[in-house]
Structure 1
């Protein structure tokens, strides 16, 4: 036997070695199998509408009932059984005991596997021992889009029945549909009212499906969209999209049938005379349902193809298209470039990420920008990083410029301007070239040197000035005062320099005039005064002004007599000869 296995193994190895290598490496015989395609995307990877499979949302779920037979004690109930069109119905009775599995009719029979060969029925208490109203409440565990609600009866169908829905897990209830032979009297609704676009989201009432017969096996089926005008354009009807949505379904049996053969007394009257059933007239009547179905789909707004249970055991959509939420009803963070929308047959309406060029982790939606863009883009990036700024983090912030050698998505796409604090006129540079705005006479991409024909000064206002030798010829040797110089000057004064401030290209000096020897034009007075000198002159020391010193040359007391002498000669007309 061992030799046979060895031989078989050898054949397998030979077969594998002779087969061509698979694209996956041939180590795994199942490597060539592919995952099934995602229904939410086409072959090209483009998003498209996808919906979960159609199911009976009630199957296997627990139904809360307000009444069940055989509890707390067993009870006897009777019903009429049809034997054919020509043969009269036969009355049959049975015992219901919730403690005996063979005689019990629990609510679990409402949503178990429905089989015609093994029909199981939930049954209420006899109506002479309980209220006429009996409720069935089904929690779907999640919001569904309901297509139909159906009930198959083991007893005669109720004469009046109401279906309600809840969209908030049973906190509030909205009428869904009414059935009654007396719609106005039971539910204050007209019978078979016309459905228009104005009332297509309202519960209607009909007398159909309220007949006595069949005594067993009768069906009531409510279609949520049947006859609704906007049903053909469901994708574009928010009203009907809301209308079919429900988290819970409640069925209220309001009033049973009252045929005489079911035991109604002579004094019970006709059923249309009193909406409440006299308890004495129904010694053994009950409601019984064999199958309770709620057909529909897990509500995912076209952005998921299935629903799964989360870590807490709750049913949620397996969302695609960058959506999230129990119903895929909002966009994932950072996917706010356009508002969330439900998917349609024409457009998947997937949520789009904000275009932040990889420089931001958060963004927000701006309605006005979205409208201005022709409803194409409304995302605004928040807290741009890497020295970027703008709605899309698409340009460099103040003090930085683009490095054109790198794409805008690079984390170092923006370089610091590094403008010289003295040579530059500001901190902002050209976004493309990085050129800083330089002051007069300053050059360089960061304004860090003087241009040709300029020399550096000590002034922070005018750091580079025209070469002083060409602008203001420096004085050589000792400074002297003679008659010729005296005559050429407009002013000859003795001042003390007190203070200086810069105003633009000018220096404003506060001076104290001690003596006035010559003043051509507007006369000068002794005392405090203001002196304006251009910064270029000041930098070239034309004149040389020093704080706490006299102007233009350091004053000497012996010059007083000389200046008085020049003053007298000027009055005598000597300056015209000089």
Structure 2
């Protein structure tokens, strides 16, 4: 009876290995946030870095067009084929479902016949530029994991710019320029992604690969090559993802390069074919997009392995005592160590950098701050002082038995901070004026202001 089970397990393992080889982006343990392990003290949780699986992000976006009346069909219009000006049997009518071409058709299920697509008005006002901005917004920070692919039904644009935003559309930076002639259109030397190196990966280039020549019938796609950039670190087949994850972990600008909140497609000049613009038949020139692919994952700062779409909004299901849409802060009462992004290192499980129970308060310059702290119950860090990276002994203090700071003369408190005294009977008022707390730190002979770390309720078990 065991043989069928063994064969099933073998098949499952083989499938997993096969998937890992063909989908290296899923490599690692980052889809798991914790596991149980046995320690000398018994069963405990072992926390690790984690991130959501990559998915089709077009399911969660909002699209906006500028100008808003650029979509064809109001009033109805007849179009001619680019390659044959006498074939004018394509009609666009917004009032008729079968003849309408609204923006949402850029993201519907591909495979329908005939193909569905969004379409702009024709170039009626030539030579005034026919320009369209298509903005894709997620209201959430996401990380790109695969190429951005646009499929055009009208011929690929002769000039186009792909832009990104990291602040929800307030500011924009270019991702890549596209043109039949980069020097003429953008005063940039033409390059391809193959010209990039590890050092120049973040360079913004102009490419002619997707615009030059009258070849739109053979290839309708325009790409922003994410995987080719990954391959500069992970190898041609992305077999060395450890190297890529290591670079993303240690190079902030690199991680930010693949991070967005919004994308903007700026269509600057439509396809005109092999000849000059035919001013007597401007219905040949327009934009039409049948599909946009954006593959990525929610950015959760390596503190969540799932992301949910609820009430029209994406949000990380945060682990590690973190919270927020991107898991970018510690939960209430979990400030025993400062929040930090998770780490891919060490490979393969990374470092969770969990938020710990407790509070760390920074000393304020406002006199009201210290008064509030006197009235506020301070939660002690639930870790041994000397083992907490945020609370290690300072100013020459020594750590006794891995749990208690022994301060040098003239220093006091959890952090071994200098006692705020200028001399006998004189107290330093740098913290918050001369509010008397009726404590006598080392070296003081009168009521004097203590470092905030010394203001711990005597009934609590903090080391002072």
Indicate whether 1:143 and 2:141 are aligned.
Answer: yes
Confirm or deny: 8 A CA contact 1:159 1:180 kept in the other structure.
yes
Displacement of 1:279 after TM fit?
A: 5.5
Confirm or deny: 8 A CA contact 1:157 1:215 kept in the other structure.
no
Matched residue of 2:214: which SS?
coil
Give the unaligned 5+ runs of structure 1: 1-36, 82-87, 269-276, 377-388, 400-409, 415-430, 432-578
Query: Across the two proteins, how many residue pairs are aligned to each other?
Result: 330
Matched residue of 1:213: which SS?
coil
Confirm or deny: 8 A CA contact 1:126 1:283 kept in the other structure.
yes
Partner of 1:427: none
Displacement of 1:76 after TM fit?
A: 0.7
Q: Mean alpha-carbon deviation: is it higher for 105-114 or for 338-347?
A: 338-347
Confirm or deny: 8 A CA contact 2:31 2:50 kept in the other structure.
no
Displacement of 1:361 after TM fit?
A: 2.3
Q: Equivalent of 1:242, from 256, 259, 263? A: 256
Displacement of 1:57 after TM fit?
A: 1.2
Instruction: State the TM-score, normalizing by the size of structure 2.
Output: 0.61
Question: What per-residue deviation string (whole Å, max 9, x for no partner) do you get for residues 416-461 of structure 1?
Answer: xxxxxxxxxxxxxxx9xxxxxxxxxxxxxxxxxxxxxxxxxxxxxx
Change (3 A) 1:60 1:216: farther
Partner of 1:315: 314
CA distance in 1, matches of 2:284, 2:312: 42
Indicate whether 1:361 and 2:360 are aligned.
Answer: no
Partner of 1:559: none
Confirm or deny: 8 A CA contact 1:69 1:75 kept in the other structure.
no
CA distance in 2, matches of 1:278, 1:199: 41
Confirm or deny: 8 A CA contact 2:391 2:415 kept in the other structure.
no
Confirm or deny: 8 A CA contact 1:162 1:252 kept in the other structure.
yes
Partner of 1:133: 131
Displacement of 1:345 after TM fit?
A: 4.9
Indicate whether 1:257 and 2:271 are aligned.
Answer: yes
CA distance in 1, matches of 2:118, 2:205: 27
Indicate whether 1:213 and 2:215 are aligned.
Answer: yes
Indicate whether 1:99 and 2:117 are aligned.
Answer: no
Q: Equivalent of 1:351, from 354, 357, 361? A: 354
Matched residue of 1:258: which SS?
coil
CA distance in 1, matches of 2:89, 2:218: 14
Displacement of 1:158 after TM fit?
A: 1.2
Give the number of the structure with larger relative contact order, counting CA–CA contacts within 8 Å between residues 6 or more apart: 2
Partner of 1:18: none
Indicate whether 1:53 and 2:53 are aligned.
Answer: yes
Partner of 1:563: none
CA distance in 2, matches of 1:69, 1:313: 25
Change (3 A) 1:298 1:149: same
Partner of 1:186: 185
CA distance in 1, matches of 2:90, 2:394: 70
Displacement of 1:174 after TM fit?
A: 0.7
Q: Equivalent of 2:32, from 25, 28, 39? A: 39
Give the unaligned 5+ runs of structure 2: 1-29, 38-44, 235-243, 360-376, 382-387, 400-411, 417-437, 441-456
Partner of 2:414: 391
Matched residue of 1:341: which SS?
coil
Confirm or deny: 8 A CA contact 1:54 1:296 kept in the other structure.
yes
Aligned CA-pair RMSD: 3.9
CA distance in 2, matches of 1:172, 1:110: 25
Confirm or deny: 8 A CA contact 1:140 1:247 kept in the other structure.
yes
Change (3 A) 1:308 1:371: farther
Displacement of 1:176 after TM fit?
A: 0.6
Change (3 A) 1:368 1:184: farther
CA distance in 1, matches of 2:199, 2:355: 35
Q: Equivalent of 1:227, from 226, 229, 232? A: 229
Question: What per-residue deviation string (whole Å, max 9, x for no partner) do you get for residues 254-286 of structure 1?
Answer: 2223225xxx5xxx4xxxxxxxx6865634221
Confirm or deny: 8 A CA contact 2:31 2:53 kept in the other structure.
no
Change (3 A) 1:109 1:145: same
1:411-490 alignment, distance < 5 Å: none
Larger of the two Rg values belongs to structure: 1
Change (3 A) 1:109 1:317: same
Partner of 1:504: none
Displacement of 1:155 after TM fit?
A: 1.7
Please identify runs of 4+ aligned residues in structure 1 that moved more than 4 A.
228-231, 277-281, 365-373, 410-414
Partner of 1:79: 81
